[in-house]
Structure formats: structure tokens, C-alpha cells
Structure 1
Amino acid sequence: MKILIIGGNGTIGKTVVSHFKENNEVIIAGRSKGDVNVDISDSNSIKTMFENTGKVDAIICIAGEAKWDFFNKLTEEDYYIGLKSKLMGQVNLVRIGQNYLNPNGSVTLTTGVLAYDPVVQTTSAAMVNGGIHSFVKAVALELENGIRVNVVSSDMVEDAYEKYKDIFPGHNPVPMYKVINGYVRSVKGKGNGEVIKISN
């Protein structure tokens, strides 16, 4: 398979790339480094990326940002960071990417535990994640040519535990092999419109 992984240089992305590279052609897309460059908050940048990659069999997105801060400190503009990047960035990857997928291809988006188990300072991120879950369930009803779309939603991963353990008190870090299996299930399986939750 020819698989495009957006955010393939990140904490989760590097592990996912390493797995899929064993038996597939993997193209890594990143904002500043990778086989191709992309800013997912810019739909023109997304179109340029796909023009450079050509047709693919699967798209995996492990990218997108949102502002983390206390609710009383978040401004309207702060919310737009997540709305434009993590939410609309991933929506546009499906909207534009469907035209660059081979028949029976798939798109796998990424959210996280905040959609259903938020912690303090994550109002914006939780809102965006929940929106992506609803989008995936709805758009799966309309995609054509056998194209599937799912979203992997993991709890805090073990490789990020030291960085985020104080923000996620009491959360058990998820082993990376479980996270990888979520993406394998989406890409290699037949599920469509699924929120694939990964936890301990």
C-alpha cells in the first residue's frame, strides 16, 4: 500500500511510520520536515501536498494543534487555533483527500481522550476532538468509491507520559503497541465511521 502519514515525525507519528514502513510505501508529510511539506490549517497547502504525492491508498493524520489554557483565559482567537488546525485541517484532509485516494482507500484521523474524558485547561481541545468524532460518523455515510474514514482516539500514550503526567493525574499511559494497532485496524480493517478508542 501507498500510505501518506501527516505528522509522521511526531511522538506518535514516528512509531506509526516505523510500523507501516515494514511492508508499505510510506510518505511522511510535516510542516517543516518530511518527504512533503504541509500546513493542514491551509487548504491550499493540503491541495499542493496531494498534487506532489499523487494517488495514495491510505491517508493517516496525526497532526493538528489546539490552545490549552484555563477557560477564563481563552480568547475567541485562541479557540480558532484548534478550529482551524485540528478540526478543519482534518476535515479538509477528508474533503480534498478523497479525490486523491484510490478506490476502497481510507482516511484515519486522530483525536484523543479529551473528547470524552477532559481534564483542566482543555476546553478548546476537548471541543475540537468531539467535533471530529461527530464529523467522522456523519461523513462516513456519504463518501463514495468504497472510501472509509475513521478516527483513532487514544488516552495519554506512554511515550508522552513524562511530559503530560501532571496534566493527566491518575491516567494510565497507553502502550505504544496498542496505539499502533488502532491505526492498523483503521487502515487494514473494514470499519467505517468508527471512533477507535485506545485505553488500558
Structure 2
Amino acid sequence: MRIIIVGASGTIGTAVTGLLAERHEVIGVGRSTTPAVDLGDPGSVAELFRSVGPVDGVVACTGSVPFKPWAELDEADYRSGIDSKLIGQITLARHAATALREGGSITLTSGVLTADPIPTGTAASVANAGIEAFVRTSAGAIGRGIRINAISPGVLVESPQFHDSFPGFEPVPAARVAQAYLRSVEGIDTGRILAVN
């Protein structure tokens, strides 16, 4: 299969790219690659699919959100997280739905904060919950046998700078998180939130 991975150079993206590349043709993309893609720019997403040609799967390992105490978050912070993580992935999925080969797959990324909040994670929780709602409600509507899932990883072993913000959470290795992306790409799940925590 030919698989596009957006955010292939990040911590999760690197692990996912390494695993999927053992079994498939992987096209890793980001803002600084050729072809380049910026999920905040729908034209950039459309051009990605035009330039790459037919693919069987699209994986999003991208999206940033502000981490601040609740009282310090303002509307701009919420919009920043929603635009970067939620709307960006929705844009990717919408374009993928028409560009993928029949029976293809879309895999998005949410996160553990949807269900397990932390003091500085409200904006992240909002964006993650939106992604999960989008996945659940899109699964039966996309058509052409295209599947859609989201991976919900916990805090990563490889990201110690975040460990203090997740008290009592057991960090998970990126290699184990990558297995969930493999399951989404090669399996039969659709409309599922695959948690790794």
C-alpha cells in the first residue's frame, strides 16, 4: 500500500513511519518536506494529493495545542488548539476521503486528555474530543469502503519534558503507540478510538 504520513518527523510520526515503511510505501510529509503540506492551508492539502497521486491510506501525527492553567486560557488559546489540531485534521480527512483509493483508511490523532484531564490540558481536551466525535460520526458516512479511526496516545516515554504535567500517568513508548497506527491502517476497525495508555 501507499501511505501518506503527515507529521512524519515528530516523535510519534518517526515511530509510525519506521514501522509502516517495513511493510508499505510511505510518503512522509510536513511543512518543510517536498511535497510540503500545511494542514492550516486547505489549498496545500489539496495540492498534496494532486502531487502524490493515488494512495491507500492517510495518517495524521500532527497538531499542537497550548498547555496552560484553566484561568490563563483565553479564546485565542482555544482557537489555536482547535485550528491546529482539530480543523487541520478534519481538512486532511475531507480531502483524503475523495483522493483515497476505494477501501482506503484515514487515521487521525487525538490523545489521552479527552477522557483523563490534567490541570493545564483543557484546550487539548477540547480539540481531542472534537477529533473523536468527528471520527465516530464520519465512519458510516464517508462511503467507498473508506475507514476512519483515531489513535489516542498517552504521554510518551520519549517526551520527558511533559512528564511533570501528567502526574500519575505511566508514559508509553512511541513504538507501542505506532502499533495502534498499524492496526488502523491494516485492520478492519472503523469509527474507533484506539487508546494506547
Length-normalised TM-score, structure 2: 0.96
Q: Work out whether residues 98 and 147 of structure 1, in 8 Å CA contact, stay in contact via their aligned partners in 2.
A: yes
Query: What one-letter code is carried by the residue in structure 1 that aligns with 2:150?
Result: V
Query: What one-letter code is carried by the residue in structure 2 that aligns with 1:50?
Result: F
Alignment of 1:162-181 (within 5 A): 162-181=160-179
Q: Percent identity?
A: 38
Structure 1, residues 75-128: CA drift from partner, whole Å, max 9, x if none?
Answer: 211111111111011111111111110010000000110000010111111011
Q: Work out whether residues 16 and 175 of structure 2, in 8 Å CA contact, stay in contact via their aligned partners in 1.
A: no
Match of 1:5 in 2: 5
- Report the alpha carbon displacement of residue 48 of structure 1 after superposing the two structures with TM: 1.4
Specify which of 184, 187, 190 is matched with residue 185 of structure 2: 187
Distance in 2 (alpha carbons) for counterparts of 1:60 and 1:110: 8
Look up the SS of the partner of 1:72 in the other structure. helix
Length-normalised TM-score, structure 1: 0.95
Distance in 1 (alpha carbons) for counterparts of 2:22 and 2:61: 19
Query: What one-letter code is carried by the residue in structure 2 that aligns with 1:183?
Result: Y
Query: What one-letter code is carried by the residue in structure 2 that aligns with 1:100?
Result: A
Q: Work out whether residues 11 and 174 of structure 2, in 8 Å CA contact, stay in contact via their aligned partners in 1.
A: no
Q: Work out whether residues 153 and 177 of structure 2, in 8 Å CA contact, stay in contact via their aligned partners in 1.
A: yes
Query: What one-letter code is carried by the residue in structure 2 that aligns with 1:174?
Result: V
Q: Work out whether residues 54 and 100 of structure 2, in 8 Å CA contact, stay in contact via their aligned partners in 1.
A: yes
Gaps of 5+ in 1: none
Alignment of 1:99-110 (within 5 A): 99-110=98-109
* Higher mean displacement: 8-17 or 35-44: 35-44
- Report the alpha carbon displacement of residue 177 of structure 1 after superposing the two structures with TM: 3.0
Q: What number of residue pairs does the alignment pair up? A: 197
Distance in 1 (alpha carbons) for counterparts of 2:121 and 2:35: 31
Match of 1:20 in 2: 20
Alignment of 1:116-135 (within 5 A): 116-135=115-134
Look up the SS of the partner of 1:117 in the other structure. coil
